């Protein structure tokens, strides 16, 4: 029997509804599965990223802490090692007041202990003990002992002291050569700025082969100076300038007023060159001497002279009877005011010595101190009338200075 049309329609409707329900369930199941997996994946990814970031942060923090710890430990170790060797130097120096009456001024500086072939000495600056009486040295533990000046050199601002301190107080530092120093090297200064004993400051070498002129040198330049960014203040004078191994590479000597921390130090090579003579003979008399006064060539000076070179030293004065005078070096004779300074034009221009280029007075002074000695013959390259000539000069010994201004 064949079904009626109405029943057939009902059956088709039921089948369609069931089919739709099954299809909807299938789609919902697939969507749910996909969303669940995606959520799990995102969570896993997020957790992994957080773990990675955490590990990276932890590693970075560990490395930074280790680096800082290493640096701090290194500086701390240097300080602990060096502090017992650094002393406070105190004395009284004569001075004259407005009424020409003599009195004494208390002076304080720094110094350090050194073993000179079994003889323990204190090294400091000349200006710290210049004409001083009642010199004493104070050690880290506060003990004070009398000191005596064994020798000094105003031209290098160096002095060597002896002391009656017992052996256990004398902890010598190692002095190493300053010849290998480079601009940018880290340096450390320990001294007593403003009476604050045992103060440590750090910085870098900002320049080498400088020259400075101090009042105690009577106008003669101190050569081969180390320029440093290390904070140096009154009372630091005479204290050690150290490298990153705690070895002495210089002795702090001066600051420039209003310089924002610009300081200078005598290089250790100068100390090593002179200390034996200072301790045994009381002085050092091996400073070479040319007997000239000069001005560094500038572009304006070169232009005014119609010079063929824009570097070197224009000779201003020649000391009568001195080495340069005997060799025939000529000074300028035409006075001119250039850039606000009075100069004498027309003289020889020194541009070289023994084949080494001389750019300015710093170069010449440094070369003379480092590589020459009295009675040595040197060959100067000189520009005269825009012609290059070579003049041989037998160096003399620097006499007691009587003039002012920079000399060589």
Q: For this structure, is 157 an active site residue?
A: yes
Q: For this structure, is 127 an active site residue?
A: yes
Kind of pairing between the strands at 133-138 and 387-394:
unpaired
Here the tokens at position 171 are 């902890």
Q: Provide the 3-class DSSP secondary structure of residue 286.
A: coil
Q: What is the maximum span of the chain, computed from C-alpha positions, in angstroms?
A: 153
CB atoms within 10 A of CB 240: 28
**Phi/psi of residue 380, each to 5°?**
-95, 130
CB-count burial class (<10 Å; 0-12, 13-18, 19+) for 202: middle
Here the tokens at position 356 are 């080494």
CB atoms within 10 A of CB 96: 9
Do 278 and 151 touch, CB atoms closer than 8 A? yes
Give the active site residue among 85, 91, 127, 307.
127
Distance of CA 182 to the CA centre of its chain: 9
Give the active site residue among 192, 237, 307, 408.
237
Distance of CA 279 to the CA centre of its chain: 27
Q: Provide the 3-class DSSP secondary structure of residue 26.
A: helix
Do 190 and 83 touch, CB atoms closer than 8 A? yes
CA distance 116 to 329: 42
Give the active site residue among 91, 130, 153, 157.
157
Q: For this structure, is 375 an active site residue?
A: no
CB-count burial class (<10 Å; 0-12, 13-18, 19+) for 350: buried
Q: Please give the positions annotated as active site.
A: 127, 157, 237
């Amino acid at each position: 029997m064949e079904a009626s049309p109405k029943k057939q329609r009902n059956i088709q409707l039921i089948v369609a509804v069931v089919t739709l329900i099954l299809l909807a369930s299938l789609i919902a199941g697939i969507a749910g599965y996909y969303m669940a997996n995606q959520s799990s994946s995102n969570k896993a990814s997020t957790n992994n990223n957080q773990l990675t970031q955490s590990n990276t942060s932890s590693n970075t923090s560990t490395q930074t802490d280790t680096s800082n710890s290493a640096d701090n430990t290194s500086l701390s170790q240097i300080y602990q090692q060096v502090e017992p060797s650094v002393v406070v130097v105190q004395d009284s120096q004569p001075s004259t007041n407005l009424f020409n009456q003599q009195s004494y001024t208390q002076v304080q500086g720094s110094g350090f202990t050194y073993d000179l072939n079994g003889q323990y000495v204190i090294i400091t600056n000349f200006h710290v003990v210049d004409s001083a009486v009642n010199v004493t040295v104070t050690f880290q533990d506060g003990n004070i002992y009398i000191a005596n000046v064994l020798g000094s050199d105003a031209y290098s601002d160096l002095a060597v002291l002896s002391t009656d301190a017992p052996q256990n107080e004398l902890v010598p530092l190692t002095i190493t050569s300053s010849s290998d120093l480079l601009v940018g090297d880290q340096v450390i200064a320990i001294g007593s700025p403003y009476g604050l004993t045992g103060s440590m400051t750090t910085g870098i070498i900002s320049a080498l082969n400088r020259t400075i002129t101090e009042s105690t040198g009577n106008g003669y330049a101190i050569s081969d100076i180390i320029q440093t960014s290390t904070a140096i203040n009154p009372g630091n004078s005479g204290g050690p300038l150290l490298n990153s191994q705690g070895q002495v590479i210089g002795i702090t000597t001066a600051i420039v007023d209003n310089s924002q921390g610009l300081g200078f130090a005598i290089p250790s090579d100068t100390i090593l060159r002179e200390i034996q003579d200072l301790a045994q003979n009381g002085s050092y008399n091996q400073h070479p001497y040319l007997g000239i006064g000069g001005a560094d060539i500038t572009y304006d000076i070169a232009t005014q002279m119609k010079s063929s070179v824009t570097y070197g030293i224009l000779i201003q004065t020649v000391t009568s009877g001195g080495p340069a005078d005997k060799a025939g070096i000529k000074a300028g004779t035409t006075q001119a005011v250039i850039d606000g300074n009075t100069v004498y034009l027309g003289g020889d221009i020194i541009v070289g010595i023994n084949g080494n280029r001389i750019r300015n007075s710093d170069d010449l002074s440094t070369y003379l101190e480092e590589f020459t000695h009295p009675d040595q013959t040197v060959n100067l390259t000189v520009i005269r009338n825009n012609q290059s000539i070579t003049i041989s000069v037998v160096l003399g010994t620097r006499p007691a200075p009587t003039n002012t201004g920079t000399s060589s």
